[in-house]
Amino acid sequence: MNGGALFVAVFLACAVEAVEATTIVLAAGTARDWRSALWGVAGGVVLLAIVVGALGPAVTVIPLHWLRLLVGGLLLVFGLQWLRKAILRAGGRKALHDEAKLYLEHVAAARSAATRRRGGIPDWYAFTLSFKGVVLEGLEVVFITLTFGSNQHDIPLAALAAGAAIVAVVVAGVAVRAPLARVPENTMKFVVGVMLTSFGMFWGAEGAGAHWPGSDAALAVVVPIVAVFGAGLSAFLRRTPPAAAQADPALAEVP
Amino acid sequence: MNVKERLRSFAHFWYDFVVGDDWRVAAGVVLALAATYGVSRTSVPAWWLVPAAVMVILPFSLWREVRRGRNR
């Protein structure tokens, strides 16, 4: 895996998570109080930095074959879950992840909650909503960055890709002051699902003691095969869509 | 929220984070990796076991979800 592939894989995965976190923070800031929402972001970032500070050095100490087995297994489980959801959405069996709808739901819930001041934070609800959004989505960013980076012995490049994705999404979110509904999220999730599944298979099998034909070059074959397999399953599901899904315009976006 | 509820909520979060919607996928991955480890101790090549498992696990999980959707 070269640096470019590492950068693209981490960038895409982190961008998807950043879009979801941005939606939540925008809802908390718009419907409640920007100052409290931004304190929530800061609190979330500090907690994630502590997690990275604790896990980062620990990850580099684990012997490589154990790291690959553990990380490969986890990535494979994550990847299959992402791929499964993306295929179900593309195949019309699950509603597309609608950031605009989610944003309105968060805004409605935020507007109906009572305002409470706590510990210098003007609006505790906006703080906790924003804090939770950043921490929950950020944990996946941390996991993906550390696992991809440590396996490829290039945590700085993986961190750079994650940072670039977060900055790009936040800048876009601030510029439009609205949820990033036009991002082709399902297609991105499909691509990330393919990447996580492929790298999970490769590292997991290596960690379990297998030797891939062609060593690292096997990835160049595994990734396209997983992509074609996933696209084939999507196409198969689309060929026989359920009656309700046929009328749903949200199903237009497919990988 | 008492301590027991907090612990349950914490455990639920990590289960949801790691295992996700279908525990069979996680179980299948663990079995495939264990089988790979077992076969790799022999002279038989073991690299193909995980890809083969993925080719079974993913359609099986999708099929279950589609069937569940029809029965709703």
Is residue B5 situated within a structural domain?
no
Range of the domain at A245: 3-252
If you average pLDDT over residues B1-24, what whole number do you get? 83
Range of the domain at B41: 20-71
B54, A73 in Cβ contact below 8 A?
A: no
- CB-nearest to B61 from A84, A209, A210 is A84
* CA-wise closest residue to A17 among A198, A103, A142: A142
Residue A109 pLDDT:
74
Residue of chain B whose Cα is closest to the Cα of A214: B47
b/e string for B29-63 if b means 16 or more Cβ within 10 A? beebbebbbebbeeeeebbebbbebbeebbbebbe
> Angle, to 10 degrees, between the axis of helix A99-112 and the axis of helix A124-151?
140
Q: How far apart are CA B39 and CA B43, in angstroms?
A: 8
- For A202-228, the pLDDT digits (tens) are 999 999 999 999 888 898 899 999 999
Instruction: Report the residue of A68, A71, A80, A139 to disrupt the B interface, i.e. the one with the largest count of B CBs within 10 Å.
Output: A80
Higher local confidence (pLDDT), A58 or A253: A58
Tally of CA atoms within 13 A in the half-sphere of B47 that contains its CB = 14
b/e string for A130-144 if b means 16 or more Cβ within 10 A? bbebbbbbbbbbbbb
Instruction: Report the residue of B17, B30, B39, B58 to disrupt the A interface, i.e. the one with the largest count of A CBs within 10 Å.
Output: B58
Interfacial residues of A (vs B; Cβ cutoff 8 Å): 69, 72-74, 76-78, 80-81, 83-85, 87-88, 93-94, 139-140, 197, 200-201, 204-205, 207-213, 218, 222, 225-226, 229-230, 233, 237, 242
Tallying the residues shown for chain B, one arrives at 72
Is residue B44 situated within a structural domain?
yes
Is residue B2 situated within a structural domain?
no
Residue A216 pLDDT:
81
Distance between B66 CA and the closest CA of chain A, angstroms:
7
The pLDDT-based confidence of A252 (bands split at 50, 70, 90) is: very low
**A85 contacts on B by Cβ (under 8 Å):** 21
The overall average pLDDT reported for chain A is 82
- Residues A231/A232/A238/A240 CA torsion (nearest 10 deg): -170
- For B34-72, the pLDDT digits (tens) are 999 999 999 999 999 999 999 999 999 999 988 887 666
Secondary structure (3-state) at A179: coil
The pLDDT-based confidence of A118 (bands split at 50, 70, 90) is: confident
- For A143-187, the pLDDT digits (tens) are 888 888 887 788 889 889 999 998 998 888 877 766 666 667 778
- Which range (A65-69, A176-180, B6-10) has the least confidence? A176-180
Q: How far apart are CA A9 and CA A70, in angstroms?
A: 19
| Best-predicted range by mean pLDDT (A3-7, A32-36, B11-15) | A32-36
The pLDDT-based confidence of A9 (bands split at 50, 70, 90) is: confident
- Interchain CB distance below 8 Å, B34 and A208: yes
- Range list of H helices, chain A: 3-31, 34-61, 64-90, 99-112, 124-151, 155-176, 185-207, 219-239, 243-246
Instruction: Count the domains in chain B.
Output: 1
- CB-nearest to B54 from A85, A88, A201 is A201
Q: How far apart are CA A128 and CA A115, in angstroms?
A: 12
- Interchain CB distance below 8 Å, A208 and B57: no
Higher local confidence (pLDDT), A103 or A75: A75
Distance between A155 CA and the closest CA of chain B, angstroms:
22
- Interchain CB distance below 8 Å, A212 and B33: no
Instruction: Count the domains in chain A.
Output: 1
